[in-house]
């Protein structure tokens, strides 16, 4: 199973949105993240990069 950490705009500790993300959905200008514990977070933005081998995702917000 590939779990990822999602960052907002840049890969810095202060930009972490959610860890252990198992599902990502892009819908109507939002990125919906769901973690291993089935908690969800929705942020406005778009998917910029996803590296599942390294375990990170970057979402660009305005």
Query: In the chain, where are the structural domains located?
Result: 4-60
- pLDDT tier for residue 37 given thresholds of 50, 70 and 90: very high
- The token duo for 16 is 């972490």
pLDDT of residue 17: 98
Return mean pLDDT, the chain: 96
Please tell me the pTM assigned to this model. 0.93
In this structure, are residues 32 and 21 in contact, taking their beta carbons and an 8 Å threshold? no
Counting other chains too, the contacts that 11-18 makes at CB distance below 8 Å and 24 or more residues apart are 11/56, 11/58, 17/41, 17/43, 17/59
The predicted pLDDT at position 52 comes to: 92
Answer whether residue 10 shows pLDDT above 80: yes
């Amino acid at each position: 199973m590939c779990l990822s950490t999602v960052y907002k705009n840049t890969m810095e500790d202060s930009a972490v949105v959610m860890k252990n993300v198992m599902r990502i959905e892009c819908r109507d200008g939002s990125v919906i993240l769901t973690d291993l514990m089935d908690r969800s977070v929705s942020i406005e933005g778009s998917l910029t990069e996803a590296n599942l081998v390294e375990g990170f995702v970057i979402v660009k917000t305005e």
